[in-house]
Structure 1
Amino acid sequence: MDITRLGILGAGTMGSGIAIGAALAGIETLLVDIDSARLTSALAEAERFYERGIEKGRIAPTAADAARARLKTVAAMAAFADRDLIVEAVFEDFNLKAKVFQELSLIARRSAILATDTSCLRVGDLAVNVEAPERFLGLHYFSPAQINPLVEVVRGAETSQATVETALAFTRATGKTPLLCKDSFGFAVNRFFCPFTNEAARLVDEQLGTTAQVDRVAREALGVAVGPFAVQNIVKPRINLHAIRNLAPLGPFYAPAELLERVGEAGESFEIGEDPGPGAETDALIAERLQGAVFLPVLEELDETVASPADIDRGAALALKFGKPPCALMDALGREAVEERVAPLCQRYGVALPSSIERVGSLIS
């Protein structure tokens, strides 16, 4: 089945971004939200995006006009009745999403595909709320969704092969790079991105570095374009906190740091002040802690066959701009150095050393 009519529920940052990109890619797109102000804001953001594209020569004026005509907004979910694909992009709360899919199951055509844009919740847990769960899967976009090229295509236990193939074709047709992964908390990318940002907050909690210092060391140690505190200020600490809390079933290593809880709960952003400057010993400790916090969850997801090492690195590079993707970096450092970074975390949080550490040195080959 070709997807020609897309429905998106939720006109927040993610839903709006998905809609803006899909309309530009030639898909008839319907954005639904009960908040009319959000719909107005989404259309304004679409206009800004298309106008900037025209100014920079990336979008032809005729293409922008066509995209504007394809993007429609309404307040009622009943308008989804004729959609081929409906993507849920509401707040990352399990009960809210479950209620949404119970309602969508009554509205959508039986042949329509239903998808969740959840960043961390398991698709299988949500699937019990979907009539005909074989048509249900995860389509996890990354922010900003109108620009970021990666989409995790998450297959639940009951998702049919036909649904997966249609979703893969749709993501490619809309200019995205799909990463097919197994259903697991955090999937392939947020499984390590959330702990990376969380460990950054722990370092500040333990007074091992300032936010600016940790950001600088992270850029050097992992080759990220933007440090963990700066990137959280973009996506909002409140949202990142909620995503990390959804990883709680994975164990105590994934529990949120005090600083992240405090800033996220307050709906604030992190203060990033002056960097005290390089200090060889402190910088090395921060780098090893950050690398370990990335390596441990990556090794765990490799044990669980969530995704291949090559796909994990591809996701890190495309979605997060990691200049030193985790599997390639582990291979470069070698098994002994990786264990030196991971073993203290395993001891601290009472988890076994992942067996995939034995593959370090030849993960990417």
Structure 2
Amino acid sequence: MAVSKIGIIGAGTMGSGIAIASSARGIAVTLYDVTESQLAKAQGEAATFFGRAVDKGRMSAEEAEAAQGRIAVTGALPDLAESDLLIEAVFEDFDLKARTFESLSPIARSDALIATNTSCLKVSDLAQHVAAPERFLGLHYFSPAQINPLVEVVRGTATSEATVAAALEFCQGTGKKPLLCKDNFGFAVNRFFCPYTNEASRCVDDGLGTPAQIDRVAQEALGVAAGPFFVQNIIKPRINLHAVRNLKPLGAFYAPADYLTRAGEAEEAFDLGSDPGPDAQRDRPIAERLLGATFLPVLEELDEEVAGPADIDMGAEVALRFGRQPCELMDSLGRVEVERLVRPLAERYGAALPKSLERVGSLRS
């Protein structure tokens, strides 16, 4: 089915970003939230975004006015009833999302698609709270959703082929780059991004360096535009802690670090501190830990066939701006070196070495 009007549940950072991205591409949007001030804030963010687009010559004033006019806001859930696609974008809490879908299912059109913007929870678990789960899937946008081009299209165990096809068409029609992946905690991209950021905190816990030093080493080792602590201060440690905690069912390796837990629970930003400057002896252990913590979950998701090497690397480049993508980097390092980096973490946390390790050297061929 063609999607021309969508309903979004939750007018926070992600919901408002999805609304802006969709309306900019001609989609009529109804944005729902229980808080009037949040709806007003979302409208203000849309006005600011489209105003800047005009200032930068990306849109005409008429186009910007039309795009903003395509976003309607409401505090009444039944106002979403005529949507072709409903996207849930509430806080990353399973019970809250489950209750949302239980309220949404009775008012949704029988032929409407229903999606969750969850970043880490299993789509198939949430599908148990949706009427007609064959029309349900994950559409995981990356922040900021109005700019970031990647959307993970997650197929649950009950998701129909028609639902997947319609979702892919919608993403492409709204200027997004879809990454089709199998359902598992963290999907294709957060499956390794969360452990990478978590390992950065473990490096602090183990006294290997300051956040500023670790950020610099990460930039050098993975070619990232910004290090893990700088990025987490943008997305908020509290949000990242919640995402990391949602990966805990995957095993002890995925459990949150103490430093991340403290910052997240206190709802504080990380103090980056000072960087003593490049020193091979100090920096090498940090780089090896960050690389190993990125490679291990990527190899595990390859074993599980969550996504293929090329798609994982595309997600790392497009969504996270990794200058050195995980699978391509592993191929360049070779199996022996990758095993040297991964084995200490696997042994420390009681994880089996992934079978995909044997394919390193030809993952992208």
Normalised-by-shorter TM-score class: over 0.9
What is aligned with 2:286?
286
Equivalent residue number for residue 120 of structure 2: 120
Partner deviation per Cα, 1:94-131 (whole Å, 9 max, x = no partner): 00000000111111011000000000000000000000
Counterpart Cα distance in 2 of 1:20 and 1:223: 30
Q: Aligned residue for 1:321?
A: 321
> What displacement does 1:60 show?
2.0
State the distance in 2 between where 1:20 and 1:295 align: 34
1:83-122 equivalences under 5 Å are: 83-122=83-122
CA distance in 2, matches of 1:362, 1:25: 39
| Alignment match, 2:186 | 186
**C-alpha separation between the residues in 2 aligned to 1:78 and 1:234?**
34
Shift of 1:282: 1.5
Root-mean-square deviation (CA, aligned residues, Å) is 0.6
Are 2:208 and 1:208 aligned? yes
Equivalent AA in structure 2 for residue 217 of structure 1: V
Quote the Cα distance in structure 2 between the aligned partners of 1:307 and 1:78: 36
Give the aligned residue type for 2:272: I
Q: Distance in 2 between matches of 1:281 and 1:60?
A: 54
Written as runs of structure 1 = structure 2, the 5 A alignment for 1:2-151 is 2-151=2-151
1:177 aligns with 2:171: no
Residue-by-residue CA offset, 1:26-81 (whole Å, 9 max, x unaligned): 00001000011111111111111111111111222221111011011001111111
Query: How many Å separate the matches in 2 of 1:304 and 1:109?
Result: 34
Structure 1 counterpart of 2:361, one-letter code:
G
Segments of structure 2 that go 5 or more residues without pairing to the other structure are none
Identity of aligned residues (%): 64
Would you identify which runs of 4 or more consecutive aligned residues in structure 1 move more than 4 Å? none
Which string of whole-angstrom CA distances, capped at 9 and with x for unpartnered residues, describes residues 226-278 of structure 1? 10000001111000000000001000000000010000001111011221111
CA distance in 2, matches of 1:60, 1:357: 51
- After TM superposition, give the deviation of residue 309 of structure 1 in Å: 0.2
Q: Which residue of 2 aligns with 1:331?
A: 331
Letter of the 1:5 counterpart: K
**Aligned match of 1:255:** 255
Tell me, in whole angstroms, the C-alpha distance in 2 between the residues paired with 1:154 and 1:104.
20
Aligned residues, how many?
A: 365
| Structure 2 partner of 1:217 | 217
Counterpart amino acid of 2:60? A
Give me the whole-angstrom Cα distance separating, in 2, the residues matched to 1:58 and 1:257: 42
2:143 is aligned with what amino acid?
S
- Which whole-Å CA distance do the structure 1 matches of 2:62 and 2:331 have between them? 48
Task: State the alpha-carbon separation in 2 of the partners of residues 86 and 161 from structure 1.
Answer: 18
Alpha-carbon distance between aligned partners in 2 of 1:90 and 1:35, rounded to the nearest angstrom: 12
Letter of the aligned partner of 1:300 in structure 2?
A: E
Aligned residue for 1:362?
A: 362
Measure, in 2, the Cα distance between the counterparts of 1:131 and 1:43. Answer: 31
Deviates most, 174-183 or 73-82: 73-82
Output the CA distance in 2 between the equivalents of 1:53 and 1:163.
Answer: 32
Q: Does 1:311 align with 2:311?
A: yes
